[in-house]
Structure 1
Amino acid sequence: MISELGTMGWLALVVAFGAIVPIIPTGAAVSGAAALAFHDHPLLIVLVIAAGAAGAYVGDLVMYAMCRAGGEQLARRLRWLRDEEHLAAVKERLHKSQIPVLLVSRLLPGGRVPVLLAAAFLGLSWRTFVVANAPACALWSVVYAGIGVAGGSIFPEPWEGVVAAIILVLIIGQIVNLISKRRAARQQAEAEAA
């Protein structure tokens, strides 16, 4: 049991670091851990979900603090701020409905950083962010652990389940990115036509 807790601690650290450095595939880490837990001891999946959610939550808090402290200057230096029009649209959506936007942004690949920037630039209160981000991180962890369990349940060997979970996460991420790009292109075309 002690080794499992240590493993979950490492998972939380990897996810927290990945939330701060957004190039690390944190969803794949949670999915892979859930696939392994499914084969080792299915009740460990609850610990995987808790570790993933805790890591995501801590990482998001650090990232939000960086966005609030550094502002647009830090965002430009780290190249987080690429599309001013997209950021303006996110700010508008966030101003209208804060909690749903924070929830959805955690689930969309590449959606979290623009929303955190917009929230910081709008001056979203810490209290609102802390409260709204907790269920977002929990939901994110449950979704990616579910992907891992699905991958782990299909294949008899743990390593096959981990590979399947990671591939599934990558495919889902690419599909979501493709849909987002098509939607943005369609909106831009409609705006140009109007």
Structure 2
Amino acid sequence: MVADDLGWVHLVVLVAVIAFGAVVPVVPTGPTLAAAAVLAHDEAPWELLLVLAAGWLGAYLGDCVVFVVFSATGGRVADKVPWLRADRPAVTRMRTRIEENDVAAMTVSRLIPAGRLPVLIAAALSGYPWHRFAVTCVFSAGAWAVLYVGIGVLGGAVVPSNTVALIAAVVVAFAVGVVPKAMPRRHAT
């Protein structure tokens, strides 16, 4: 039985929030998962497995929705948004990298801030097979969930106060997910 603070309804909401955040990337899914891990770690450590599974499932479902939507409508969307055109060199290079090592490409893209959507879109627009995507996404969503649950566990283990641990985990998760996006990129010349 799940403890009072982390009930089945909370797990379903966690899956829904993370899936929604994977589709609409303004929702801070990493900090949400880290915060849930802090609460689970404090209540009953075995509940971390449930939080991990919920995060994994939410990330997987959200990524699948993005892939399916862009596979089905990508051509029409790409015609209206120039950087999405499948004949662009960047999309072609991304497709080549995905095909060279799809599990690594999908997993790394999931862990790098702002890396997931371009890779998913490139894969969908270039005709990457659905069945291969569904398998590789299992690994990438799992790696992402392990990372953010780990941040939550670390916060809960290092900081004795549940409130402070929750705040620390959310701050670290934001730092992992937002700071690299804000840093200027250096281009090779």
| 2: CA distance, partners of 1:90 / 1:150 | 34
- State the shift of 1:6 in Å: 1.7
User: Are 1:186 and 2:187 an aligned pair?
Assistant: yes
The TM-score with structure 2 as length reference comes to: 0.87
- The structure with the greater share of residues assigned to helix is 1
Structure 2 vs 1, CA of residues 154 and 100 (structure 1 numbering), >3 Å: closer, same or farther? same
Aligned 8 A contact 2:30 2:174 in 1: no
Is structure 2 residue 177 aligned with structure 1 residue 173?
A: yes
Which residue matches 2:37? 34
| Residues 1:22 and 2:40 aligned together | no
Unaligned runs of 5+ in 2: none
Question: Structure 1: where are the runs of 5+ without partners?
Answer: 190-194
1:89 aligns with 2:81: no
Q: Is the counterpart of residue 69 in structure 1 residue 72 in structure 2?
A: yes
The code of the aligned residue for 1:19 comes to A
**2:128 aligned counterpart, secondary structure:** coil
Contact 1:102–1:136 (CA under 8 A) maintained in structure 2 = yes
3-state DSSP of counterpart to 1:71: helix
Q: Matches of 2:96 and 2:17 in 1, distance apart?
A: 32
* Residues 75 and 142 (structure 1), Cα distance of their counterparts in 2 relative to 1, 3 Å cut: farther
Identity of aligned residues (%): 36
Match of 1:141 in 2: 145
Q: Which amino acid aligns with 2:181?
A: N
Q: State the partner residue of 2:133.
A: 129
Q: TM-score, normalised by structure 1?
A: 0.85
1:157 is aligned to 161
Q: Secondary structure of the equivalent of 2:187?
A: helix
Deviations 1:81-105 (A, max 9, x none): 49x6644432331232222101111
